[in-house]
């Protein structure tokens, strides 16, 4: 997805919130906003928002000298999510269509995102997810919730690359991966996390904390951007990305970064901002399962 002009005020908002969270004083906060302002005229709208996100959070890191300002938040999200993991499993056991339920829950878990909302009440959001009734996917939703296509692709896929999004959310990804494995134990699943801290995006430690290592192989994308910007990925990752039978991309950041994925990709995310919602033609808050051929 290209950057829309409406994203620009939001870049400044994100920079300010990240600066505060990293403990910057007012002077430092202003310096971060000033440096972002200086970078803006050089930033082409043809780049995706996560590319600017990389600049923003890079500035916050550089100026505050905090390597991983979201570390505590990520740890807390992992713990809270793993606490409800047994209940997620139970919800799936009681469901009429286990795979569909796991997909819905995996997307619902995408709410644990500090890029959009800084003062997130993870505990409250998790409770809300657990309280939600199983929904029926309506016919008219098909365009933005391509469950049929997903199932068909899954049937034939021997190798699957799963692009992670946020810490905590990983527990929800695990539930989905376990359902996929339940259908076919022999599927090879590779779970890609970020290389360096960026917002609350999942790193290897978060994946391990949520037990992904028990169900998939964890790899790093080589990235320090809040979305899979292919030109910043490692060669090793790009080979996997090209070679696997199926790619499942989690979260809005990965969707924004991979609008021209170069290969078929299934995007699972919650539409969290009006710009993305407009581009997908959905409402903010909708859960999306989108298929892009290339």
Q: Which is nearer to a second copy, 31 or 187 (CB)?
A: 31
Q: Which is nearer to a second copy, 40 or 94 (CB)?
A: 40
DSSP secondary structure, 66-88, as one string: -S-TTHHHHHHHHHHHHHHHHHH
**Cβ–Cβ < 8 Å for 174, 154:** no
Q: Report if residue 16 touches a second copy, rule: CB under 8 A.
A: yes
Coil, helix or strand at residue 228: coil
Q: Report if residue 135 touches a second copy, rule: CB under 8 A.
A: no
Q: List the one residue from 40, 94, 183, 260 that touches a second copy (CB under 8 A).
A: 40
Q: List the one residue from 23, 37, 65, 158 that touches a second copy (CB under 8 A).
A: 37
Q: Which is nearer to a second copy, 29 or 221 (CB)?
A: 29
Sign of torsion over alpha carbons 204, 165, 150, 109: positive
For residue 255, the minimal CB distance to a second copy (Å) is 22
Sheet containing 287-292: order of strands: 217-220, 188-193, 159-163, 246-250, 265-270, 287-292
Q: Which is nearer to a second copy, 8 or 238 (CB)?
A: 8
For residue 3, the minimal CB distance to a second copy (Å) is 10
| Of 40, 31, 38, 33, the residue nearest 16 (C-alpha) | 33
Q: List the one residue from 1, 22, 23, 33 that touches a second copy (CB under 8 A).
A: 33
For residue 260, the minimal CB distance to a second copy (Å) is 20
For residue 117, the minimal CB distance to a second copy (Å) is 14
For residue 69, the minimal CB distance to a second copy (Å) is 17
**Distance from C-alpha of 83 to C-alpha of 211, rounded to nearest angstrom:** 12
Task: Give the side-chain half-sphere CA count within 13 A for 97.
Answer: 13
∠ CA 138-139-144, rounded to 5° = 85
Q: List the one residue from 26, 131, 140, 156 that touches a second copy (CB under 8 A).
A: 26
Helix (H) or strand (E) holding 38: helix 26-39
In the complex, the residues that contact a second copy under the rule CB under 8 A are: 5-6, 8-10, 12-13, 16, 26, 29-30, 33-34, 37-38, 40-41, 45
């Amino acid at each position: 997805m290209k950057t829309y002009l409406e994203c620009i005020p939001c870049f400044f908002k994100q920079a300010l919130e990240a600066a505060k969270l990293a403990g910057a004083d007012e002077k430092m906060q202003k310096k971060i906003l000033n440096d972002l302002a200086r970078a803006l005229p050089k930033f082409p709208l043809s780049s995706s928002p996560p590319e600017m996100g990389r600049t923003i959070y890079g500035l916050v890191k550089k100026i505050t000298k905090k390597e991983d300002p979201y570390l505590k938040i990520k740890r807390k999200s992992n713990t809270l999510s793993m606490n409800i993991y047994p209940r997620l499993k139970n919800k799936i056991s009681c469901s009429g269509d286990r795979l569909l339920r796991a997909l819905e829950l995996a997307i619902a878990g995408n709410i644990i995102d500090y890029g959009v909302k800084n003062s997130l009440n993870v505990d409250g959001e998790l409770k809300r997810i657990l309280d939600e009734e199983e929904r029926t996917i309506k016919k008219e939703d098909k365009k933005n919730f391509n469950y049929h296509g997903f199932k068909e692709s899954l049937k034939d896929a021997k190798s699957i690359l799963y692009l992670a999004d946020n810490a905590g959310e990983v527990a929800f990804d695990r539930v989905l991966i376990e359902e996929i494995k339940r259908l076919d134990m022999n599927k090879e699943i590779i779970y890609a996390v970020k290389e360096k801290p960026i917002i609350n995006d999942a790193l290897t430690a978060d994946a391990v904390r949520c037990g992904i290592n028990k169900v998939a192989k964890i790899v790093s994308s080589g990235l320090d951007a809040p979305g899979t910007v292919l030109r910043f990925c490692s060669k090793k990752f790009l080979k996997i990305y090209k070679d696997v039978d199926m790619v499942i991309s989690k979260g809005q950041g990965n969707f924004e970064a991979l609008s021209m994925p170069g290969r078929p990709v299934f995007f699972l995310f919650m539409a969290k901002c009006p710009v993305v919602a407009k581009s997908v033609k959905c409402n903010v808050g909708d859960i999306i399962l989108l298929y892009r051929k290339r």
